[in-house]
Amino acid sequence: MRTRLVVANWKMNGSFALLDEMLSILEPLMDKTASEVVLCPPDVLLSSMKSAVEGTQIAVGAQNVHSEVSGAFTGETSAGLLQECGVQWCIVGHSERRNLFAETDEFIRSKTETLLKHGIRPILCIGESLEQREAGKHEEVVIAQLGKGLAGLAVDDQNRCVVAYEPIWAIGTGKTATPEEANSMHKIIRKELESLASPEVAEKMQILYGGSVNAENAETLLSQSEIDGALVGGASLKTAAFPQIVVAGS
Ligand code: 13P
């Protein structure tokens, strides 16, 4: 049985005040939900978040990391520093980083390895563009991203990874994949994991859905057999919405 995982990706949004407010609403809900909850705020909030969530069930996540452990990489953050900030999870391969910052599968793969060496669990994002879906290439694209992200990792490392399927056309557009569309893509991903890794890894790995998840659609999406959680953008900044997603289906 896979534990449900709900991850907030604040992107370049939020504030110290919003973090305090969100945590004060989430904390009392944690014993009412079966979900694991991870909040990924911008890096400057991580250290405050580490102190604020101490003793709670809420985990600290980051949105990005550099693959190198240190050096002349102005503006970047190392996995070692993330670890010092109590970071347990980190998003890699988000489509915004792939497209706006030209991150390649190879770079994403090396970030994943660096995170694993620092005891931080990677959340590997994969997903097709609208153009690729309309051309019927979505399965091929997603399978290629998955393979380049995870192939060749040791089994213990694969077991520490989570995959997030985020169709680009559903991100920030209000257009969600239907629960059936999302579930069928998750099935394809899990099937691929069987050959890429092993049936055991495939069975255990949490596959999250992301793309316009909100308080209204969370329950239906999360009730699909192959959807093990959600990676939430816009709605994770709303104190009226994110807590509802956290308790959806509990
Ligand atoms: P939205 O929930 O705003 O569509 O964003 C999804 C996302 O990109 C999460 O990583």
Give the global pTM.
0.97
Query: Rounded mean pLDDT of 94-104?
Result: 97
Which domain CATH number covers 69? Answer: 3.20.20.70
Calpha distance 250→155 (Å, rounded): 30
Contact of 116 with 157, CB cutoff 8 Å = yes
Predicted pLDDT of residue 130: 93
Distance CA 220, CA 213 (A): 10
Give residue 67's pLDDT.
98
Domain count, the chain: 1
Closest to 42 (Cα-Cα) out of 61, 24, 57:
61
Say which residue, 75 or 174, is predicted with more confidence. 75
Residue 154 makes CB contacts below 8 A (sequence gap 6+) with none
From the CB of 9, is ligand 1 less than 6 Å away?
yes
In the numeric block, which tokens belong to residue 53? Answer: 């969530």
Among 242, 248, 250, which residue's Cα sits nearest to residue 40? 242
Residue 151: is its pLDDT beyond 90?
no
Average model confidence (pLDDT) for the chain? 96
pLDDT at 249 > cutoff 80 = no
pLDDT band per the 50, 70, 90 thresholds, residue 175: confident
Q: Domain of residue 203: give its range.
A: 5-26+34-247
Cα torsion 67, 73, 75, 78 to 10°: value is 40
Q: Is the CB of 171 under 6 A from ligand 1?
A: yes
pLDDT tens per residue across span 217-237: 999 999 999 999 999 999 999
pLDDT at 1: 81
CB atoms within 10 A of CB 44: 10
Q: Is 199 in the pocket of ligand 1 (CB under 6 A)?
A: no
Which residue of 128, 166, 168, 214 sits with most ligand 1 atoms within 8 Å of its CB, as the best mutation to test the pocket?
Answer: 166
Q: What is the pLDDT of residues 113-142, one digit of tens each?
A: 999 999 999 999 999 999 999 999 999 999
